[in-house]
Amino acid sequence: MQQFRLLAGFLLFASSLSFAETAAPRPAAEPELAWAAPLGGRQGSAFEVVVRGRSLAGTTAAWFPCSDVRAVVRKVEDVPPEPPPAGPVRKGGAKEVPRLPEYRVVLQVEVDRDAALGFHNFRLITPRGASNQLALQVVADTIVAEQPKHASAAAAQSVTIPTAVNAALGEKGELDFYAFDVKAGQELLFEVFADFRYKKDDPYRAQAELTLYERTGSWFDPERLTPLVLDRPVLSWEPIPRYRWRDFAAEFVLFPRLGHRFPKAGRYYLSIGAFLGRATAGSVYLLRIAPLQASSGSDPFVLATAAHPDRGDWLERDSATMRQFGSFRRRLGPDRLAQLQARTVARSAPPAGAAEVLTGTTGAPYATRSAPGPASVAAPPPDNPISVIGEREPNDTRDAAATVTVPALIEGTIGRPGDVDTFKLTLAAGTRLAFEIETPLAHPPRFDPWLRVFDQSGQERIANIYKEYGGDGIEVNKTLERKTVYTFEAAGDYYLELRSLTSRDGGAEYAYRLLVRPQVPHIGHIELSLGVTYQGSQVTDLTDRMNLPAGEGRALALVCEKEEGFEGDVVFTAEGLPAGVEVLPSSPAAWGEVLLRGMQYRPVGVELVPPDHHRPRREVVTLLVAATADAPLTQLPSRVRLIGWPIVHGRRGRPIPAGEFPLMVIPGDRSVVISDARR
């Protein structure tokens, strides 16, 4: 395994190199996948998958990063391009837009019996390199195929429970109806894994929409359906999977997932369509209906979760480009301090390798080096571990508040509308604390935990609501933060209150875990970028792989978030590089400032709330991946892994996964000979 030690301080060295850095590193002829159908497969099954896309001539293989799922290419054929989406005709008449040839690739897929549940990403391999990635969902449920012509209640497709259905919408306004029978009091979970990937020439991004009905009938229409009033939310905020960053990098993702308790037995109906009816060819989806786990309030397996989570996807805040949105689901436990210590440099850390790593560090612009202060070195784990404290009612007032000793993990419930849970902290002057919240059952936007800390006089000192200017500077955006940090300058008693933001709801599902702990200077989220485009505050990835022509170079950027006063250095190493490829320091990438600003970093000179309490310090490093002119061409992608190393006062911490990407070395002259032998 080839490994390169890369010093962030040497970033300006590469400005003299001849390799070109561009904000759009991929060639126009790179293979591009549009959609695949069906979307799901059961453990231990074999089935065909049809993939549509562009620049797929000569496809030789389908590549899954794991061994759970395999596929063989059976056929590659060119097909007529899909018609462009209909829309308003601009003044001056419609303009003919040239459309690239499209291809249809047929795969024979096999799924292991013990394959991990969740979505598995795959790419197609062509003479021009690797394609973008699509996802194939693996489930344990029985999967049935969609029946033709079930666009009404009278023609609804009957399904049993539990079940999963592979289906697709093909035109605007189309609805698919399903019918099912329930027992009185039965609770069911309905969820859809939809890949309604918008086309680049379609400005609208349609998503799936679910509606539950019961048959009520009327004098005019005995078959009339009436939508049910649900006792659970129709939409939920979800983390954005990495494979969809190119589509939804800067937008909220509303994942159709709902639960409902049916008070009476009978036959009910479900319809699935595209939001506002904007379905197109390739609007494929996987429907799953299963009993809801009443004991936990949520199902242990949810569609659209990664089968093999990215080791580098550290979820700490809801911030930056919103790619971490959904962090209230992040588990908090008594081992939290140990997790943070693994991302920093402890005072007892050995200095092994420090002299080698720090030699020649310069502190150049965009480097992750800064003058380390005392707070940069994390203190050793406290003698008293995190204690788990159960909330006890009544505790709505300060007089009834239980005293909490830091560090503590408080487990409680907003048991009724308007419920307030109050706790007392006795702190010394200069105490630096971090407050982290987990909502294990109901999540935002259903349960929005509102945290506030007051001093003895009743003055609010800190809250987990962040305010900032947005848009053109006349808007104020408010965000509910999962993590808040604060330094208490004065000694005394403080009161911590937690409630639901709206005070309209409460119950067993409104459970929370609140961790009150000392601040630990550490490296937070590290984001790997191979190039972005942006419009206003929307940041979208240009590519998710690197097809590197021999003799050329491509830039990548790493955005590093320094949390809770960490002011040391970060250096990076690269593993898994193919022969003839090296990684070098580089001058700043053209899109570095865009990544730093992101969606939540739009300074206008005036801050509504000090950002130090809710935002980390962010820095970006640019590296250049270069292939020699005689680098051997690769037949399959190499998984290049980037590792970050925190450095403080000459001491190096533990390795931190920073992300990975597939890399292929392709011919440097772009004159690729394509074989049609598989047609």
Tokens of 12: 């300006």
Written as one letter, the residue type at 201 is D
Backbone angles phi, psi at 575, to 5 degrees: -125, 150
Please say whether the beta carbons of 594 and 539 come within 8 A: yes
Q: Are strands 431-438 and 408-413 parallel, antiparallel or unpaired?
A: unpaired
Give the Cα separation of 513 and 315 in Å (integer). Answer: 16
pLDDT digits (tens, 9 = 90+) for 353-385: 333 333 222 222 223 444 445 455 555 555 568
- Tell me what the mean pLDDT of segment 12-31 comes to: 45
pLDDT at 86: 52
Give the distance from CA 632 to its chain's centroid. Answer: 34
pLDDT digits (tens, 9 = 90+) for 563-584: 999 989 999 999 999 999 999 9
Tell me the average pLDDT of the chain: 80
Give the Cα separation of 256 and 192 in Å (integer). Answer: 6
636: pLDDT strictly greater than 90: yes
Q: Residue 309: CB partners within 8 Å, gap ≥ 6?
A: none
- Rg of the chain on CA atoms, in Å: 27
Give the distance from CA 13 to its chain's centroid. Answer: 34
Give the Cα separation of 660 and 585 in Å (integer). Answer: 18
Instruction: Point out which residues pair with 542 in neighbouring strands.
Output: none
| In 283-408, alpha helices (H) | 336-341, 354-358
Q: Are strands 656-666 and 638-648 parallel, antiparallel or unpaired?
A: antiparallel
pLDDT digits (tens, 9 = 90+) for 402-422: 999 999 999 999 999 999 999
334: pLDDT strictly greater than 90: yes
Q: Residue 475: CB partners within 8 Å, gap ≥ 6?
A: 469
Which helix or strand (DSSP H or E) is residue 255 part of? strand 254-261
6: pLDDT strictly greater than 50: no
Tokens of 555: 């830039």
Q: End-to-end alpha-carbon separation of the chain, Å?
A: 38
- DSSP 8-state symbol, 183: -
Give the Cα separation of 625 and 352 in Å (integer). Answer: 28
- State what percent of residues in the chain have pLDDT above 90: 51
The answer, yes or no, to whether the previous bond of 203 is cis (omega within 30 of 0) is no
Which of 240, 164, 251 has its CA nearest to residue 203? 251
Structural domains present in the chain: 4-24+343-376+523-666 (no CATH), 32-80+101-139 (2.60.40.10), 143-291 (2.60.120.380), 387-519 (2.60.120.380)
The DSSP line for 410-468 is: EEEE--STT-EEEEEEEE-TTEEEEEEEE-SSS-TTT--EEEEEE-TTS-EEEESEEEE
pLDDT digits (tens, 9 = 90+) for 231-289: 766 555 555 666 665 554 444 455 677 888 999 999 999 999 887 777 777 788 999 99
